[in-house]
DNA sequence: CGTTTCGTTGATATTAATCAACGAGCGTGG
DNA sequence: CCACGCTCGTTGATTAATATCAACGAAACG
């Protein structure tokens, strides 16, 4: 669904001539909704998909906007959020490699989305996508599966926000984020955090100060070490215990 | 999907002889997933569906249990929740008439469910349901639609729990609950609350005391009146303002 | 090199939780 | 039928957790 990596200007066209399908070569394909496509469908897809690279802090779409396209993220991190009228923000999730934005196929976006770092993505016009769903029950099945997975994930978020304290939230977040990233990068105790403390705070229903203090506390207790753009988990055992406290 | 109402013992068999399909006579059919079924399918359904009436405070299923059946609620209220090991409870939703439990088709239940009051429901063995989905793309479409709607609803819950204070939560809950109930009963300013204050607290991520105090405060301010088993909304305008404060 | 953003830390304020007491309603059993 | 014991909701007093306000240093940025 996305070409493997950026090419020198001249090389790009060359690739298009040689490759049967750029989407079929896509590294994130098997992680994404595109895993549901067969070879011919991928070729069809090549003609409708728009590959885009977004700089950091770019809006993908805004809450309430009519849905004109759906997105598959192939690199980078996107924050999905809602703003209250007074500026309070709740981040509902971080979309990373393989994420599909638009599982609910709403008429208007039910969330806003912004790139955090540089994001590569595939944009599919929604009418095209709907047409494909109508043709292929298999795709609808995959879409339902993705929606179901998302629903289950967000149920966890509800429990976190409703009934867990600051320490449990941070510990849970670090462990869960590591887990998510482990799907690609070899499983490491170093958890890269491309999002800011403010993003983490708005995701966990806390303030930036509480996030900072709790991370500092964990560091003081030697559960983690803060490293540039992330944390290294020193004691996953104990961290897990702090996540499921009591 | 469910017969209209309970019958005298002898009458029940009589009805079965006369009616083409009990499910086709179901009052809640058009509100539920069964709206996706055609006439012949409803007849098929009659043979696999188990109609059950549960007394209050009865477990429908427990978190982690293998999913053996899915449920359609035709009367009463069910609480859907997760328990933490120390007894903290987070209610994720209240299922009422027309609700379908099992939209994500998981292998094991991702929530626990208990009747709050007397609940009438239709139980469909999961393998039967899966088989129907495999045959009918239309049903899968409906299921996806339900899952999507649920996902959108729970996103609202995340925003509520993450970024709204006690007053906003209570006001939002009362208005939203009224809205949900308005689908059946003629739209009234009286909101029946079958669930206890503890249930409301566990749904809104608060304590029972905070719920009680906030409701009392709204009553003192003449926004609502507490009536037996519910509240009457006196000033929906202002209540709405309190819900979306700032 | 100034300026802005970001993360950290400290002091204080505020919200909601906790602890505690009480009264009303309800079901049970004497 | 009444008395007892529950559960439930309410309210008050206090505590604890987290938010808010404020200051600062370091890194990033133009």
Structure-token pair, residue B118? 């007397």
Establish if B107 touches chain A: CB-CB under 8 angstroms.
Answer: no
Q: Is the CB of B111 under 7 A from strand C?
A: no
Structure-token pair, residue B5? 């109402």
Average confidence score pLDDT of chain B: 91
Minimum CA–C1' distance nucleotide for B88 = C17
CA distance A146 to A102: 10
A204 Cβ neighbours under 8 A, 6+ residues apart: A160, A161, A166, A169, A170, A173, A211, B162
Q: Say which DSSP state B195 is in.
A: S
Q: State the average pLDDT over residues B167-176.
A: 98
Q: State the average pLDDT over residues B90-100.
A: 97
Contact between B55 and B36 under an 8 Å Cβ cutoff? The reply is no
Q: Chain A residues with CB inside 8 Å of B198's CB?
A: none
The beta-carbon neighbor of A90 closest among B150, B162, B202 is B162
Q: State the average pLDDT over residues B186-196.
A: 92
Q: To the nearest 10°, report the CA torsion of A123, A65, B32, B114.
A: 90
N residues, chain A: 246
Helix A126-135 with A39-48: angle, nearest 10 deg: 160
Contact between B191 and B233 under an 8 Å Cβ cutoff? The reply is yes
* Residue carrying the six token digits 């950091």: A56
On the question of pLDDT at A1 being above 80, the answer is no
pLDDT > 70: percent of chain A: 91
Q: Where are the alpha helices (DSSP H) in B73-225?
A: 126-135, 137-163, 166-181, 197-204, 208-220
Nearest residue, CA→C1' of D19: A207
Calculate the alpha carbon distances from B223 to B165, B169, B200 in Å. 17, 15, 18
On the question of pLDDT at A79 being above 50, the answer is yes
Structure-token pair, residue B243? 């819900």
The beta-carbon neighbor of B155 closest among A92, A202, A245 is A92
Interface of A with B in 87-106 (CB under 8 A): 88-90, 92, 103-106
Is the CB of B148 less than 8 angstroms away from the CB of A105? yes
Q: Is the CB of B207 under 7 A from strand C?
A: yes
Residue B81 CA to its chain's centroid (Å):
12
- Three-state SS annotation for B151-175: HHHHHHHHHHHHHCCHHHHHHHHHH
The beta-carbon neighbor of A144 closest among B111, B143, B245 is B143
What's the pLDDT tens digit per position in B117-132? 999 999 999 999 999 9
Between residue 161 and residue 200 of chain A, the positions with Cβ below 7 Å from nucleic chain D are 165-167
CB-defined contacts A:B, below 8 A: 113
CA distance B155 to A158: 9
CA distance B183 to B162: 28
CA distance A237 to B7: 58
Q: Chain A residues with CB inside 8 Å of B89's CB?
A: 163
pLDDT of residue B104: 96
Q: Say which DSSP state B66 is in.
A: B
A196 Cβ neighbours under 8 A, 6+ residues apart: none
Query: Of B4, B2, B8, nearest to B46 (Cα)?
Result: B2
B159 Cβ neighbours under 8 A, 6+ residues apart: A82, A84, A90, A92
CA distance A138 to A100: 16
The beta-carbon neighbor of B155 closest among A143, A154, A244 is A154
The band of A246, judged by pLDDT with boundaries at 50, 70 and 90, is low
Is the CB of A148 less than 8 angstroms away from the CB of B104? yes
Query: Of A169, A218, A210, A173, nearest to A191 (Cα)?
Result: A173
The pairing of strands A230-233 and B69-75 is unpaired
Establish if B144 touches chain A: CB-CB under 8 angstroms.
Answer: yes
Shortest distance, CA A137 to any CA of chain B (angstroms): 6
pLDDT of residue A24: 87
Interface of A with B in 14-73 (CB under 8 A): none
DSSP string, A65-127: SB--EEEEEEES-EEEEEE-TTS-EEEEEEE-TT-EE-TT--SB-SSEEEESS-EEEEEEEHH
Which of A45-49, A215-219, B27-31 is predicted most confidently? A215-219
Question: What angle is formed at CA B138 by the lines to CA A125 and CA B19, rounded to 5 degrees?
Answer: 155
Nearest residue, CA→C1' of D18: A210
Shortest distance, CA B152 to any CA of chain A (angstroms): 7
Contact between B161 and B93 under an 8 Å Cβ cutoff? The reply is no
Q: State the average pLDDT over residues B74-98.
A: 97
What's the pLDDT tens digit per position in A179-208? 999 988 887 899 999 999 999 999 999 999
N residues, chain B: 246
Q: What is the pTM of this model?
A: 0.91
Residues facing B57 on adjacent strands: none
Q: State the average pLDDT over residues A147-168.
A: 98
pLDDT of residue B137: 87
The band of B7, judged by pLDDT with boundaries at 50, 70 and 90, is very low
Contact between B53 and B45 under an 8 Å Cβ cutoff? The reply is no
């Amino acid at each position: 669904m996305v070409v493997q990596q950026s090419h020198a200007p001249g090389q790009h066209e060359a690739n298009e001539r040689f490759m049967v399908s750029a989407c079929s070569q896509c590294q994130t394909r098997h992680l994404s909704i595109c895993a549901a496509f067969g070879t011919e469908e991928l070729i069809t897809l090549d003609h409708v998909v728009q590959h885009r690279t977004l700089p950091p802090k770019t809006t993908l779409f805004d809450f309430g906007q009519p849905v004109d396209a759906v997105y598959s993220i192939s690199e980078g991190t996107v924050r999905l959020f809602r703003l209250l009228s007074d500026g309070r923000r709740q981040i509902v999730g971080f979309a990373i490699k393989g994420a599909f934005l638009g599982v609910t196929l709403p008429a208007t976006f039910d969330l806003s989305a912004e790139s955090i770092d540089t994001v590569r993505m595939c944009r599919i016009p929604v009418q095209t996508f709907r047409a494909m769903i109508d043709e292929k029950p298999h795709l609808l099945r995959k879409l339902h599966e993705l929606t179901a997975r998302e629903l289950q994930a967000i149920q966890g978020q509800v429990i976190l926000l409703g009934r867990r304290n600051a320490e449990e939230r941070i510990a849970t977040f670090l462990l869960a984020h590591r887990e998510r990233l482990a799907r690609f990068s070899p499983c490491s105790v170093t958890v890269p955090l491309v999002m800011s403390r403010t993003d983490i705070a708005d995701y966990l229903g806390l303030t930036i100060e509480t996030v900072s203090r709790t991370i500092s506390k964990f560091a003081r207790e030697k559960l983690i070490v803060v490293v540039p753009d992330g944390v290294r988990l020193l004691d996953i055992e104990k961290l897990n215990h702090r996540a499921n406290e009591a």
